[in-house]
Amino acid sequence: MPAEKRQGISPVFLGIVAVMAVSGWAVWAGPGRSVGLATFLFVTAAWVVSLCLHEYAHARTALHSGDISVGAKGYLTLNPLLYTHALLSIVLPVLFVIMGGIGLPGGAVFIERGRIRGRWRHSLISAAGPLTNVLFAIVCTAPFWLDALSGVPAAFQYALGFLALLQVTAAILNSVPVPGLDGYGVIEPWLSHSVRRQVEPLAPFGLIAVFALLWVPGVNAAFFDAVDALLRSLGVSQNDTYCGLDAYRFWQTQDVRCSLNG
């Protein structure tokens, strides 16, 4: 399909945005515990939107760096179904959220690196994704650090807090310089050819290795202590994120400490 016919925003992406908007309204307006399903849909849809924007940032930066093939591949349409690894980019990140409340996006867009000249451009392409998560986290936490939560329903506040947690963890974890993650992509252009050749076979396992490491209790505790400290500095309390996760997992018994009527 010609590149110029694939540049508009995908109806698939617009549909996900619509789910996010409608479910977000339901979280805001819904009474008490009935907002559980709405919270699940809102956070999941918003998380998928952030994943699409993450990959779009990679593709858009690559386009301006010399890889004009990203348009023909449909990456600029924000359609997650056109990603090269939909399983790694959408399915697994959503499963990670459900299983552990961890935001960890995977690689998706295929950049033709041979079209791009300059190590700084290569590094910027890789950095564009995590920077998008940082921007998303700023938006999610803005009501907290701007002290603009007056009148905001508790359920919506908790959902925003949990979504902020996902964006912060995504930005941090995907910036780790491990093969297969964007952090490694930032430093890779500056490594010698022999080092890159040796590390290349490890790339498919980097994402899994990082996630597995987070299941080690000591590592998990240290990581989330650091994340909680960062979120507290932005006005998001541990109660906000905990109750957001509690509401998100609506199929489980809800914690009585997390009142959704406040």
Return the active site residues.
55
CB 13 within 8 A of CB 77: yes
Cβ neighbours of 213 (radius 10 Å): 14
Residue 41: both structure tokens together: 């849909």
Torsion of CA 152, 155, 160, 162, to 10 degrees: 150
- Tokens 């906000």 sit on residue: 240
Give CA–CA dist 180/199, Å, rounded.
10
Residue 44: both structure tokens together: 């999941």
Distance of CA 255 to the CA centre of its chain: 26
